[in-house]
Structures are given as structure tokens and as C-alpha cells.
Amino acid sequence: MSGDTMEAPVRPDRTDGNAPAFADRLAETLARGYRQALIVWLARRVAVLLSRTRTNWFTASVSVLAMASWPYLVDLVLVFVAPDQAFHNTRTTLYTVAATLVCVTALALAWGAWKHAEKLVAPLADLVADSPEREDLIRWLDRRLRLRRQLLCAFAGVVVSAPILVLTAVQPGDVIEPNAAVYVHTCWLGFLGGITLYWLITVADLPLRLRKYTGLRLAWIDPARTFAIVRLCHCYALVSVAMALGVVTIEAAAIVLGYQNPGPYLHAFLLGFPVVAAGIALYVGVQPYVTLSRMVRRHLDEVISPLMAPSDTPSDALTRHGDSEADVTAYTYFAALRTLPIRTSAILQYVAGILASLIVYFVQQTIS
């Protein structure tokens, strides 16, 4: 969908002293995220230790790989302390390698996404500079950065992931032989998965917050191409692509596991989890666009509301039409404007792609 973003954004025509001061506070809040957003803090931990001044691609790569693969240190200890709890076969080894790759992806994308969020500071500050509710945006971000909330979601991910291995251990035809090494990798994967989901929901909820604010600064000539709206749409296009790839990967992994003759519990999970992943992908990838569109439409309705004054009689309407050709031209122009800087067909293609992948997945499961 990123390829459908329109070329040139339009900046609002109003300026005052509110935007710079608010932008500074918003930038400070995002800067604190490098220390308080748990998944970003984890991704950067080794890089900060390696380079106190400034990180580069090498230290960043080492940091992400180290934080994603630290469970292998536990595996190494288990080889000497409790050999029966270490890896036994190729299947469990492949499983842990796949889990580590998912962790690498989650950490890398989180760090990259936070750096990309810094580009939203100026346009967002300009968008809400005149809004009396603008301070609520910083307070909301402060609440989302609280460690207790993040840990709650992280451990919820652990609680969901660990029982899956327990179920595979008590059923016939299990795919993976659970032991301490596998549990460590699975729990770490669930931990990072819970935090990732927490921040995905946070990103998707941003337009819902903005829609509640009044006095937003949108470009008068084409509100949908306001710089903040264009930036947000570009951001959500990247998120949508990542979510679509995630859904396809989950479905592919479920198909591979389905060929291994899983027991009834794991089979039920393999049927349900892709559906949940697709639902999250649709919420994170579609809801923001719908909300931004409704926000722009509300603004356009406010623009043309003076032209919608009722007439007393039919003849009065004819008289006003004859005297207000400029009003009719203005109404025609604003009523025909787009509410998003991307084509609606791109969003529909995304929805159709997610639903089609689910249909193909279920057809394949039924045949197999």
C-alpha cells in the first residue's frame, strides 16, 4: 500500500508558537521510549554496552542477535548439568532455530519502528498544536510506556505459549518433545510476542486518540494530504506489509506442523491461531486507515456545514442558488475530495489478501 501514497503532502496554513514547544515535549517522550519501551530497551541493551556513544549497524546487529539467542546459553549449560533436558533431535533444533528467527525479527522491527516514529514528531505536533486536548497525547504515551503494563502483556504471552508445549507432551503424535531447553526458547518467544502485540495495538490505537481531539490543523485545500496524515498512512503501510508477511509465515508454519500428524490439542491450536493472527492483522492494518478517513471526513463536513443551512421554502432555495454560484462551486469541490492520500482499492486488496490466505489455509487443512 505504500506505493499508493500520493506524491506531495500539503502543510496546514496556520502557524503559531504552540507547535515547537509541544514538539519538544513529544520528542522527549519518544526519546524516553528507548529506555522505557521494553522491547526497544532489550533490542538495544548489548549495543549500548558495546558502544556508549553511538551505535552503528554492526553493534545493532550484534545486540539484536544476542538478545534473541541468549536461550542457547541455557542450552549449553543444560548439556553439562542435565543432558536429558537439552536438545535430542533435529526436530526440536529446527523448532528453536525458527523461534530465534522470530525473536530476531521482532526485536529488529521494534528498534527500527521506534526510530521511524521520530519522523512523526513534527507532523503530529503540527496537527494537534491548536487542539485543547493535545497534552492528552503525551499523557497517553506516558501510560503506554509504564513498565507494569508491558510486563503484564509479556507474561501473558508466556502464559499462552508454555501450555502449548504441555499439551503436546500429553497427546499422541506430538510434533516436538518438550524439555527444559525447548521451554526456555518457547517462553522467551512468548515474552517478546506479548510485548510486540502490546505495541502493535498501541500503534493502531493512535488514530482513535487523534479522532477524539478537536481543533486539528488540517490543510484547507486538501485535508487528506496534510503532512501528518500522509506520514501516518506511510507508517501504517509499512505495518500492514509486516503484518501480512507475519500472517503468511504463521500459516505456512502451521501447514508444515499439520503434516507431522499433530494430536487433537495441537491441531485445534493450528486451526485457531492463524485466525487470531489474521484478525490482529486486519485491526492493525485496516482500522487506522478507516479512522483517519473518518477524521478527515468529519473535518470536511465541518468545512461545508455553513453551506448546508436549510431554506424556508422551495422558492427560497432557487433564489439562494441563483445568488450563490461560488457556494455551489465550493461545495462541489470539498464534497469530491478524497479522505485518504492512498487509494481505497489498496486497502481492499490488503483485506482480500488476508482473507484469501485464510481460505487457502483452511482448504489445505481440510484436504490434508
Read off the pLDDT of residues 156-172 as tens digits, 9 standing for 90 and up: 999 988 887 777 666 66
Grid cell 486538501 is found at: 222
Is the model's pLDDT at 325 over the cut of 50? Answer: yes
Asked if 1 and 237 touch (Cβ cutoff 8 Å), the reply is yes
Is the model's pLDDT at 365 over the cut of 60? Answer: yes
Q: Exposed, middle or buried by CB within 10 Å (0-12, 13-18, 19+), for 171?
A: middle
DSSP helix/strand/coil, 339: coil
Q: How far apart are CA 323 and CA 328, in angstroms?
A: 10
- Give tens-digit pLDDT for 294-308: 999 999 988 888 877
> What amino acid is encoded at 147 in this protein?
L
Q: Which long-range contacts (CB under 8 A, 24 or more apart) does 299-305 make?
A: 299/216, 299/218, 299/223, 300/223, 300/334, 300/335, 300/337, 300/339, 303/220, 303/334, 304/330, 304/331, 304/334, 304/335
Reading the block at residue 93, the C-alpha cell is 533444533
Q: How far apart are CA 13 and CA 129, in angstroms?
A: 13
Grid cell 498544536 is found at: 129
Contacts of 30 (CB under 8 A, 6+ apart): 114, 117, 118, 121, 141
What residue spans of the chain are helical by DSSP H? Answer: 18-36, 38-50, 57-69, 71-81, 90-117, 121-128, 134-144, 147-169, 180-211, 227-258, 264-304, 314-323, 325-335, 344-367
**H or E element in which residue 119 lies:** none
- Give tens-digit pLDDT for 107-156: 998 998 898 888 899 999 999 988 999 999 999 999 999 999 999 999 99
DSSP helix/strand/coil, 131: coil
**H or E element in which residue 342 lies:** none
Q: How far apart are CA 182 and CA 221, in angstroms?
A: 58
Question: Per-residue confidence at 16, pLDDT binned at 50, 70, 90?
Answer: low
Asked if 130 and 218 touch (Cβ cutoff 8 Å), the reply is no
Grid cell 485496516 is found at: 286
Question: Per-residue confidence at 4, pLDDT binned at 50, 70, 90?
Answer: very low
Is the model's pLDDT at 275 over the cut of 90? Answer: no
- Give tens-digit pLDDT for 22-46: 889 999 999 998 899 999 999 998 8
Q: From the centroid of its chain, how far is CA 258?
A: 28
Asked if 125 and 17 touch (Cβ cutoff 8 Å), the reply is no
Indicate if the alpha-carbon torsion angle 210, 237, 64, 70 is positive or negative: positive
Angle at 214 between CA 150 and CA 4, to 5 degrees: 70
Q: How far apart are CA 310 and CA 295, in angstroms?
A: 25
pTM of the shown model:
0.85
Q: How far is CA 263 from CA 14, 104, 180, 183, in A?
A: 63, 29, 21, 19
Q: DSSP class of residue 1?
A: -
Question: Per-residue confidence at 314, pLDDT binned at 50, 70, 90?
Answer: low
The residues with which 10 forms a beta bridge, in sequence order, are: 226
Q: Which of 326, 321, 296, 322 is nearest to 309 (CA)?
A: 321
Asked if 283 and 236 touch (Cβ cutoff 8 Å), the reply is no
